[in-house]
Amino acid sequence: MSASNQNITSVLKETRVFPPAAAFASAAHVPSPAEADRLRAWAESDPDAFWAEQAKMLDWFKPWTQVLDWSNAPHAKWFVGAQLNVAHNCLDRHLTNGRADKPAIIWEGEPGDTRTLTYKQLHAEVSRFANALKGMGVGKGDRVTIYMPMVPEAAIAMLACARIGATHSVVFGGFSADAVADRNNDAKSKVIITADGGYRRGKVVPLKANVDAALEKSPSVEKCVVLNRCNSPVTMKPGRDIWWHDAVLSADADCPAEPLDSEHPLFILYTSGSTGKPKGVLHTTGGYLLGAALTHKWVFDIKENDVYWCTADVGWVTGHSYIVYGPLANGATTVMFEGAPNHPKEDRFWEIIEKYKVSVFYTAPTAIRAFIKWGDQWPKGHDLSSLRLLGSVGEPINPEAWMWYHEVIGGGRCPIVDTWWQTETGAIMIAPLPGATPTKPGSATKPLPGISAEVVDKQGNPVPANAGGFLVVKQPWPSMMRTIYGDDERYKATYWSNYPGIYFTADGARRDDDGYIWVMGRVDDVLNVSGHRLSTMEVESALVNHPKVAESAVVGRPDDLKGEAICCFVTLKQGHAPTDELKAELKAHVAKEIGALARPDDIRFSETLPKTRSGKIMRRLLRDIAAGKQSTQDTTTLEDYGVLAKLREDEE
Ligand code: 6R9
């Protein structure tokens, strides 16, 4: 992943602008462009004072002596010498500020079972489980793997670790036994917390069976806690395995939150590289929690009575920062859902929004494109009038998908916050402040106050307006990753070697005349066509704005003449036939929308696209298929293994 290429040519033309409604703005946490500018200018001129002031939103047991210590760059220390506890901030302080009986988590399981935990109840459950962990010998600094379905106990386990200073490593409940073993071994986890299984599209995913296989190869793991979620048969190994309900049975509900150093490791979260072993992104306590809490408050404009729902899985960073830590630190009500958006039917999300009167909804472009494909009748059958703000995360959102989200889900009245960030950044970096920032479909808009994101050329100089370049962050920020767990050299080489002293995101982007940032996707995914570097996302957006196209993935195929030929995998909306005429029509459509340069060479119709479990299209796998090669790539993060076989069958 290197920035040492020529700049990227941007061909996307999008001129619609949506200013905040006056009524929304006047009640917002950041209510005007002037206030946003004031915060940005302050953060730029005196970052220490700016962050110290923001940090007052957290409860600290002991104050810091220094805001940022960057002397050992690129390993940052934030709020040096201070002490706090994340679970205390997410739970205990709400018991004395009037939120004890407020719902903290509203949960719905896939079969339709539900549970609401108030702050008081969640506090008791977390404390009890924290004591149970202590009873198993887990203490400050130990690592704990969490491999669970989307049930409240996943959040309880995370918070229990935070409460006693154990570092958690959440592994997606869909990953294989090998993936679990690799992560156990990299982190040297002492305990693993799992469930018998979890529900996914009506079936039980056998988590415990995967753990049994993983533990054959995970010598550091001494104990395995098993939640009975599905009443499915499991094998319990005496001396090693213990049921969750037995572990908490005799555990005391009083477990004081451990005062921890601001730089104490809170969690490790593994992100997949395209090659090599996954990177254990390490986040620490004070800076991370400030980033999650502040951005959750500002970007989602969270108010006391909001019912907030982020549809991510806790195994993804979005689940960490925006289902658990950010919302709970703000004393919000966070909705958690176990299942798939189309089970039992394609309106499950809209049913949940109507049922719980969700007011703030945060999902991913991949889901939005699926909803578009399934048809407007599903959302239109539900009362979505409780919604007041919508969010998007995970990939660039195609302008047409943005417009659909705005009109069909948001009823034209809800601001959309397109939030750009990464596992590594810990919290949202580029996004609208919904009361202050006019939005443009497809742009994450501007860096948040305190975040010095810029688009630069290969030498590190800012690119002129509208030219494509590389997205970097120039100054450290509190929720930045601290290192790759156990591999400082890889941390430096991956993120800090392209531009010395500057964080390289590996994303391509463009800044427009108004200073808005348009993220164009991973630099790895950029096409090189006749000497022009084109963003795959921009060609995809042109395809998606054709009325018959639901989703597309564009990759390069080696071509003697052009360097790379443009190969497009296209999923059609329901009711449209994959014909040769349509192929010709789509090629002409892209050429008309963005120019002859981007005219696709191949169009291949496909029912599905290979994606990660957080919904990102895995273009590197499609590149092999486009080139007619057998893939030797890492597919452990693929959501549906059948997809690749199907795509190969569809080959021309
Ligand atoms: C939070 C998350 C990070 C990568 C990132 C970028 C892509 C995420 C985006 C976006 C355009 C957005 N990405 N949000 N691209 N617009 N709003 O997704 O973390 O799983 O680590 O992925 O996702 O390419 O670099 P993570």
DSSP letters for 230-271? S-------TTTEEEHHHHHHT--S--PPPPEETTSEEEEEEE
Kindly tell me if the per-residue pLDDT of 600 is higher than 90.
yes
Q: E strands of 461-615, at which residues? A: 468-473, 483-484, 503-511, 517-522, 527-529, 532-534, 549-559, 563-572, 602-605
Q: Name the band, by pLDDT with cuts 50, 70 and 90, for residue 403.
A: very high
Residue 267 confidence (pLDDT):
98
Burial 141-152 (b: 16+ CB within 10 A, else e): ebbbbbbbbbbb
The CA distance from 364 to 585, in Å, is 29
Kindly tell me if the per-residue pLDDT of 652 is higher than 50.
no
- Name the closest-CA residue to atom 19, ligand 1: 422
Q: Name the band, by pLDDT with cuts 50, 70 and 90, for residue 413.
A: very high
The CA distance from 297 to 303, in Å, is 8
- Name the closest-CA residue to atom 5, ligand 1: 422
For a pocket test of ligand 1, which of 269, 281, 288, 393 has the largest count of ligand atoms closer than 8 A to its C-beta? 393
pLDDT in tens, 79-95: 999 999 999 999 999 99
pLDDT in tens, 416-443: 999 999 999 999 999 999 999 999 999 9
pLDDT in tens, 138-172: 999 999 999 999 999 999 999 999 999 999 999 99
The CA distance from 336 to 331, in Å, is 15
Mean pLDDT (the chain) is 93
For a pocket test of ligand 1, which of 519, 536, 541 has the largest count of ligand atoms closer than 8 A to its C-beta? 519
The CA distance from 645 to 641, in Å, is 8
Q: What is the pTM of this model?
A: 0.92
CATH says 22-118+263-510 is which class? Answer: alpha beta
Q: Name the band, by pLDDT with cuts 50, 70 and 90, for residue 4.
A: very low
Q: How much of the chain, in percent, has pLDDT values that exceed 90?
A: 82
pLDDT in tens, 327-384: 999 999 999 999 999 999 999 999 999 999 999 999 999 999 999 999 999 999 999 9
pLDDT in tens, 457-476: 999 999 999 998 999 999 99
Q: What spacing in Å lies between the alpha carbon of 318 and ligand 1's midpoint?
A: 10
Residue 435: closest CA among 299, 307, 305, 296: 299
Residue 635 confidence (pLDDT):
66
ipTM above 0.90 for this complex: yes
549 is an annotated ligand-binding site residue: yes
Residue 447 confidence (pLDDT):
98
Q: Name the band, by pLDDT with cuts 50, 70 and 90, for residue 276.
A: low
- The secondary element (H helix, E strand) that includes residue 43 is helix 33-45
Residue 651 confidence (pLDDT):
54
Kindly tell me if the per-residue pLDDT of 3 is higher than 60.
no
- Name the closest-CA residue to atom 23, ligand 1: 394
Q: What spacing in Å lies between the alpha carbon of 66 and ligand 1's midpoint?
A: 31
Distances 401 to 267, 303, 370, 405, 438 between C-alpha atoms, Å? 34, 27, 10, 6, 18
Q: Name the band, by pLDDT with cuts 50, 70 and 90, for residue 275.
A: low
The CA distance from 41 to 150, in Å, is 40
pLDDT-wise least confident of 22-31, 192-201, 291-300, 617-626: 617-626
Q: What spacing in Å lies between the alpha carbon of 505 and ligand 1's midpoint?
A: 10
**DSSP structural state of residue 107:** E
Largest CA distance in the chain: 72
- Beta bridge partners of residue 168, listed in sequence order: 144, 267
| CATH 3.30.300.30 is held by the domain 530-650 | yes
Kindly tell me if the per-residue pLDDT of 247 is higher than 60.
yes
Kindly tell me if the per-residue pLDDT of 629 is higher than 80.
no
pLDDT-wise least confident of 3-7, 13-17, 203-207, 498-502: 3-7
- Name the closest-CA residue to atom 10, ligand 1: 395
The end-to-end CA distance of the chain, in Å, is 31
203 is an annotated ligand-binding site residue: yes
SS3 of residue 98 by DSSP: coil
Residue 14 confidence (pLDDT):
81
SS3 of residue 206 by DSSP: coil
Distances 3 to 12, 499, 506 between C-alpha atoms, Å? 21, 9, 8
Q: Name the band, by pLDDT with cuts 50, 70 and 90, for residue 631.
A: low
Of ligand 1's atoms, which has the minimum distance to the CA of residue 419? 17
Domain limits, CATH 3.40.50.12780, in the chain:
22-118+263-510
Q: Which whole number is the average pLDDT over 189-200?
A: 97
**Strand duo 483-484 + 279-284: pairing:** antiparallel
Residue 636 confidence (pLDDT):
64
The CA distance from 435 to 443, in Å, is 16
Asked if 459 and 465 touch (Cβ cutoff 8 Å), the reply is no
pLDDT-wise least confident of 276-280, 438-442, 486-490: 276-280
318 is an annotated ligand-binding site residue: yes
Residue 632 confidence (pLDDT):
63
Q: How much of the chain, in percent, has pLDDT values that exceed 70?
A: 96
Q: What spacing in Å lies between the alpha carbon of 209 and ligand 1's midpoint?
A: 32
Residue 300: closest CA among 281, 280, 266, 323: 323
Q: Which whole number is the average pLDDT over 566-588?
A: 94
